[in-house]
Amino acid sequence: MGRIKRGGYLIEWWMGDHLPKHIHIYKDGILVAKVETASMLVLAGALNKRLKKILVELIREQKI
Amino acid sequence: MKAVKIRSGEFNNRKKVLTVYYMNGKAIEVHYSQLGIKKNLGAVWVDKETRGHSLGLRFDDGKEDYMPYDQPLALTKDPEYLLQTHVERLTAVIKATIKERRISKRFLADQLGTSDNQIQRLLNPTILNKNLEQLYKVATIIGLEFEWHIKKAA
């Protein structure tokens, strides 16, 4: 499954049987950020503290 | 953020091909195997939750999945998409280094003899037409260096 919802954000990554290289993050349908998962490098957009926390949680849970 | 929207999609279970039509006029075909699809498709639709940035897929067993707009572009090595991802990564690394080293954009502008506005443009990932000389100067000032690689396509 290439999509998860958490904290009001929709986080999406490529289909297929692999962990994502990068993720797209949407809020209310707007693309707010694109993040490289291995390094947490913000490729486009920006992350607020809440969103960073959500991503750290998802990485810890090995969801992304 | 520059992201292409999907206009529509169609599938052919016999050929195992999914065709994605983009708002900018591009049409890209991908084989199911490239997407890791092992089942036949029953329906595809443009996803409203991402306002057209994903394609929803329903398989013949009723399960659903979503494909981001950029997956077919990357799989087919679309040159415009590849350039955009390279520029995105490049500007992201420079911006992260600038933040980490607490270097002001004003300082960079002074060093380059240009305006704050030009520095903003240089670090804007949606502007693909970059002044390479200025990018090299910024990289040197913040302690980075460029390495270019080109290889035969796989």
3-class SS letters over A12-57: ECCCCCCCCCEEEEEECCEEEEEEECCCCEEEEECCCHHHHHHHHH
Query: What ipTM did this prediction achieve?
Result: 0.87
Say if B20 falls within a structural domain: yes
User: Which chain A residues are closer than 8 Å to B92 by Cβ?
Assistant: 36, 41-44
Q: Distance from CA of residue A56 to its chain's centroid?
A: 9
Asked whether the whole model's pTM tops 0.90, one would answer no
For A45, the closest chain B residue by CA position comes to B1
B21 and B71 inside one domain: yes
Residue A18 has pLDDT above 80, yes or no: no
Say if B35 falls within a structural domain: yes
Distance from the A60 Cα atom to the nearest Cα atom in chain B, whole angstroms: 23
Q: Does B82 touch chain A (CB under 8 A)?
A: no
Report the candidate in B36, B44, B40, B48 with the shortest Cα–Cα distance to residue B16.
B40
Q: Does B136 touch chain A (CB under 8 A)?
A: no
* Residue A1 pLDDT class (50, 70, 90 cuts): low
User: Which chain A residues are closer than 8 Å to B37 by Cβ?
Assistant: 15
Say if B152 falls within a structural domain: no
Say if B45 falls within a structural domain: yes
* Residue A7 pLDDT class (50, 70, 90 cuts): very high
Residue A17 has pLDDT above 90, yes or no: no
Give the structural domain span for B116.
79-141
Say if B13 falls within a structural domain: yes
User: Which chain B residues are closer than 8 Å to A14 by Cβ?
Assistant: 67-68, 71, 74
Q: Does B100 touch chain A (CB under 8 A)?
A: no
**Three-state SS for A64?**
coil
Number of domains in chain B: 2
Which of B38, B59, B88, B93 is most worth mutating to test chain A (most A CB atoms within 10 A of its CB)?
B88
User: 């040159």: which residue's tokens?
Assistant: B79
- The two tokens of residue A16 are 């297929």
- Other Cβ atoms within 10 Å of A34 Cβ, number: 22
Q: Which of B50, B65, B89 sits opposite A10 (nearest CB)?
A: B50
Give the pLDDT confidence score for residue B57 in this predicted structure. 96
* List of residues 6+ apart from A29 with CB closer than 8 A: B48, B49, B50, B51
Helix (H) or strand (E) holding B12: strand B6-12
Give the pLDDT confidence score for residue B62 in this predicted structure. 95
Give the pLDDT confidence score for residue A15 in this predicted structure. 80
B69 and B117 inside one domain: no
**Maximum CA pair distance of chain B?**
62
Say if B1 falls within a structural domain: no
Average pLDDT score over residue span A27-36 = 94
Of B28, B46, B75, the residue at which a domain comes to its end is: B75
pLDDT tens for chain B, 154 residues: list them: 677 899 999 999 999 999 999 999 999 999 999 999 999 999 999 999 999 999 999 999 999 999 999 999 999 999 999 999 999 999 999 999 999 999 999 999 999 999 999 999 999 998 999 999 999 999 999 999 999 889 998 7
Chain A to chain B, count of Cβ pairs less than 8 Å apart? 72
